[in-house]
Structure 1
Amino acid sequence: MNFKKAFTVVLMLFVSIVSFAQGAKKLDKIIKRDYQIIECTIAKMSDKTVEYSLPGETLQIALDVSQIARIDFASGRSQTFDVSANTAPSGNSDPVTASLEIKPNTIAVLPVPYVNSDNQEGSEDMAKFAQNDLYNKLLDKSSNIFPLTVQDLRVTNSLLHKAGIDHKNIDETPIEDLEKILGVDNIVAAKVSYTMNSGTTATTYNSGNAKVSDNNKKIKTNDVSTTTANTQVYYYYTVYFDMYKNASKIYSQTRKPFLAVKDSWMDSISYLLKRSPIYVKK
């Protein structure tokens, strides 16, 4: 092999090694709050923005930190951006609410306050159960609410938790703010209010044996009487059911179940959902 050919082979090998090294270069990853992932090279960070460049480009792009959930650096280090820790400008003690990019045709199910109207006490477990029940009903009827997509319940509750919102104060938060926090343009909000009452019924069972005397033909009877008391608890529900689109209320109904049994509120939820404007019969 002459010198020229040898030089050409070495040069091609060098270029290949350089190209491979560049192609194998690890990139930083920006995970946005709308779940978009940007693979890039981060050049600069500040309290307000992160500047980065895309692979193969030198142009630097600035991204507001309020849109970022986490950054996974090429070095292996991760940094989480918790907007709930941010504070509002001087003179306002309220926390800054993170705003997500609104995803069109997406609906979120809010926690469902489950409140005893006699003492105004709410149950966190029942609020989660009722929310999950309504969420599953929407999933089961996904073909009937097309083109709407139901936001995953874990995502909804995680975003609400970061914003300091739960079943106790969900009614105090404006729908417009909730849509921005959750990044949806549709919201279903329900509430279950109830009272309880009990009643006791007594059932008596009689049994007796008759005996005839051979001497005087008189009838003798030994009676046995048993009384059983049954206590029944009655639940009287009022179900409030609201739907919003782009912060405007599009549906609002109140319903009281016909039966006063423990889970009758679930039937009312199904009834109201099927008569809401998002539901289309197939």
Structure 2
Amino acid sequence: MALRDYFKNLKLNLKKMRILISGLLLMSAICISAQTKLDKVLMVNGETKTGSVVGISDDAIEFIHEGEALKYKLKKADISKIEFGSGRIEVFNEVKGSTKDAMLIDHHNKIAVLPFTYILDGEQKKNDATERKVQQEFFSLMKDHVGILNVQPTTETNAILAKSGVNDENFIQFSMPEIANMLGVEYIIQATLSISKKGASSYNSSSLFVKQNQSKDKARGSSFSVNSTQIEYQTSLNMLLYNDNGDVVWSRTKEAFWPNKDAYKQTLKFLLKRMPIYTK
């Protein structure tokens, strides 16, 4: 009897364990599914299809709509661009539309760079000229490396923001879709430049000058020493790319390698080349 009860209990325990494992696997699958971002295919007629891009050929893509299993073929000629769940963006064609839809269509394939938030030694420098200086520098770097996307001039961006009453003091009160509508763009780049003094390094250099005495044919020399101090900085850039729905399409933070105050310039180039909209 004892042996029979042992195997009976063992069978029950194995059954419970199978149920527990099945439940854990199901929960894991649900979590993975929830974390996976879907792809968005924007058509030239303004329509947006949400699902998964499962294949790309020379003239079409293979697409499965959200919640379905049937595979469709969409011609590349009918596609404006694809926003992959990974954050990468692939642009195919310009968007077409009627005059009636001009306000909506005008957003497509346009991008604006906001004035950079500038933080010096932990304090935000509001309305500082550096905000617009770095904004213009990044505009100049990216305008020829975004494919068919049209980059809005910074003077136009800043003028629209000023006329709409948006400034450093109240920027937090506006959502990204509201900013996108103000500017008439589909994508917005927002960035923060942080620079902090790390300390100072001192250098000493010595030089020897030799002067020839022509009359006595003897050489006379003199030496001098120069002390110099160089201030070192720690520079960090945080950059985000939003779409006009307010979604963060891409984000990256990068510490500058060099300790000088202008080290951010090389960091701007580094970040630009890693953006999903970048083209050579």
TM-score category, normalised to shorter length: 0.5 to 0.7
**2:138 counterpart of 1:134:** yes
Question: Over aligned residues, Cα RMSD in angstroms?
Answer: 2.7
- Look up the match of 1:107: 111
Post-superposition CA distance 1:40-76 (Å, at most 9, x none): xxxxxxxxxxxxxxxxxxxxxxxxxxxxxxxxxxxxx
**2:124 counterpart of 1:116:** no
Distance in 2 between the 1:280 and 1:225 partners? 55
Letter in 1 for 2:189: V
Structure 2: gaps (5+ residues) = 1-102, 211-220
Letter in 2 for 1:258: F
Distance in 1 between the 2:205 and 2:242 partners? 51
Aligned length: 167
Post-superposition CA distance 1:144-182 (Å, at most 9, x none): x22211112222111100122234554553212111111
**2:138 counterpart of 1:166:** no
**2:265 counterpart of 1:251:** no
Post-superposition CA distance 1:237-265 (Å, at most 9, x none): 01011101122101100001111112110
**2:268 counterpart of 1:278:** no
- Look up the match of 2:18: none
Contact map agreement 2:122 2:194 (CA 8 A) in 1 = no
- Look up the match of 1:266: 265
1:1-282 paired onto structure 2 within 5 Å:
101=104, 102-122=106-126, 124-141=128-145, 145-167=146-168, 169-170=170-171, 173-196=174-197, 197-204=199-206, 226-246=224-244, 247-281=246-280
Please list every run of at least 4 consecutive aligned residues from structure 1 whose deviation after the TM superposition is greater than 4 angstroms: 204-208
Letter in 2 for 1:138: M
Letter in 2 for 1:249: V
Post-superposition CA distance 1:102-161 (Å, at most 9, x none): 5211001100122103344346111110010111112232xxx22211112222111100
Letter in 1 for 2:200: S
- Look up the match of 1:8: none
- Look up the match of 2:26: none
Distance in 1 between the 2:255 and 2:169 partners? 22
Contact map agreement 2:111 2:187 (CA 8 A) in 1 = yes
Letter in 2 for 1:237: T
Structure 1: gaps (5+ residues) = 1-99, 209-222
SS in 1 for 2:143: helix
SS in 2 for 1:130: helix
Shift of 1:269: 1.1
More helix by share: 2
SS in 1 for 2:167: coil
Distance in 1 between the 2:207 and 2:277 partners? 55
Distance in 2 between the 1:128 and 1:207 partners? 47
Contact map agreement 2:118 2:194 (CA 8 A) in 1 = yes
Q: Residues 172 and 233 (structure 1 numbering): CA distance in 2 closer, same or farther, change over 3 Å?
A: farther
Letter in 1 for 2:142: L
Q: Residues 160 and 267 (structure 1 numbering): CA distance in 2 closer, same or farther, change over 3 Å?
A: same
Q: TM-score, length-normalised on structure 1?
A: 0.53
Structure 1 vs Structure 2: percent identity of aligned residues? 26
Q: Residues 169 and 117 (structure 1 numbering): CA distance in 2 closer, same or farther, change over 3 Å?
A: farther
Contact map agreement 1:111 1:170 (CA 8 A) in 2 = no
Post-superposition CA distance 1:208-254 (Å, at most 9, x none): 9xxxxxxxxxxxxxx97743210102121010111011221011000
Distance in 2 between the 1:229 and 1:123 partners? 37
Larger radius of gyration: 1
